[in-house]
Structure 1
């Protein structure tokens, strides 16, 4: 029998109070978190805890639904190369979230598993349930209240698996160990203790503050958004994951000039590999659609040709971020 579960993470402020959760059904789910973490930490922790919570059912296939391409690619594509390089990326820099990744690498041994990417916030029942519980855990840490940890992979879930196909049953001690909350060592450091790996922005996380000053103390939102759009078109910005993580909204989507739909994670990975060349911009309009929303339209000229572009910028309470972009080749 195949165990199908969704795994998700949440961070309020990213980084900020963080939560994680995996979900099979209302009788089989778990959640947890930390006072300070990132979305990617939560996503990875949800996957790690799912493997640990089902360790006593290692003979069963595990099908994991995940809306993070970073997590899927880390586990299924990048980890072997990182390990060969001593857990360093191709540019020689240390891999972010390495403690969680090492623990996941150990948890994979002897397991049969597949990952499936699902679009987040698109009405997928299991993904939405995991997302709700991860966000609730992050909110609990923000408010200083107890986290609803869930029933875990309890007797009812084990009975369902056993009814579907025979599988090894864990001893009471093994089952208790498998369902024990798991946290990486760095996540257990005091909140105001020594800086650790988890104090740094990870591969796709949003930084605490926007390091780019506003174009002027009295600059209008339209002027600020135009400056940010121009910055985002610079090759040195596009190849900087930390900076693109600031400029792109967590729910960013693009419809490219080829007609392809890009998610935030896919876009950032693509830009890191190929940031492109210089681009000239001719602003056509900057229209205020609301107090927190500006639609920027412009013509871009690059080596590959000209295109008409629309960018929807939203203010999240702290800074302006690009929520949606569409490009159309100009005839």
Structure 2
């Protein structure tokens, strides 16, 4: 049996609010995106999520219709050589979107697949269906609206999550909903800024706790909502993370959420809050600080640092 699916991406401004989608038919499709991304990232993410969503049927041939020569060439022509060169191009420069490409390289291992180029915006039914859904997500991030993530592929863990599985049952890309939780952000959206009332303090703590949850850390669309476009992190391991690198690492080995001990939450100015806390987990304890910025009526994590505790 052959699964025929179209994969597409969309970015308003390129870069800007971005969406991705793959589409088989009206009962089998998925979409997601980020507040800030490029069209190529959307195209790559659509292909990656398609492979992940069909990983439970590895013996079925996957025929991917794509209007991006960049994506097709990356995967079928260039990726093997880049990998041999340490993910660098012939001129020695780093490969763009390398984290997504590494995830795709892992996802396609052992899979039976082929790519077919189709002309975009030319009336191809599957391509148009994927394009409409990807663009709808980008528009949702731009306007603050919401779009369905789609039913997913039958039998996949992502589809099970959409039918009501708990976060503990979710896998990478579990939900691709392009909207904020209305209960979580409703009070923040009422005005430009909020004083650090106990309610806002609790919401910042809730957001920080959310980022520690394994199901959320496997959900690139949700993490994209929580991270500021200029997010940076100095991790416990000593590695520096950017927002793109963090999103590209979704699906890596993630342990259970650690225990959190809140030390303090302080308002530095009318739109900046600093939270300090201690985590204790399988790798020991660490002291952590997070800088949250309120932009567009929404709190997003701008900077995080973790230091192992002696």
Q: TM-score range by the shorter chain?
A: 0.5 to 0.7
Q: What pairs up with 1:1-331 in 2 under 5 angstroms?
A: 1-154=1-154, 177=171, 180-181=174-175, 182-183=219-220, 189-194=227-232, 196=242, 198=244
Gaps of at least 5 residues in structure 2 are: 157-165, 176-218, 233-240, 246-310
Partners of 2:155 and 2:222 in 1: CA distance: 29
Partners of 1:109 and 1:155 in 2: CA distance: 20
Partners of 2:167 and 2:112 in 1: CA distance: 23
**3-state SS of paired residue (2:48):** helix
**3-state SS of paired residue (1:136):** helix
Which stretches of structure 1, 4 residues or more, deviate above 6 A after TM superposition?
Answer: 172-175
**3-state SS of paired residue (2:73):** helix
Per the TM alignment, residue 183 of structure 1 is displaced from its structure 2 partner at its CA by: 2.6
**3-state SS of paired residue (1:56):** coil
CA contact (8 A) 1:8 1:66 kept: yes
Deviations along 1:89-132, one digit per CA (max 9) or x if unpaired, are 00111000000000000000110000000000000000000000
Structure 1 length normalisation: TM-score? 0.52
CA contact (8 A) 1:141 1:147 kept: no
Gaps of at least 5 residues in structure 1 are: 157-171, 200-331
Structure ID, larger Rg: 1
Query: Which residue number in structure 2 is paired with residue 295 of structure 1?
Result: none
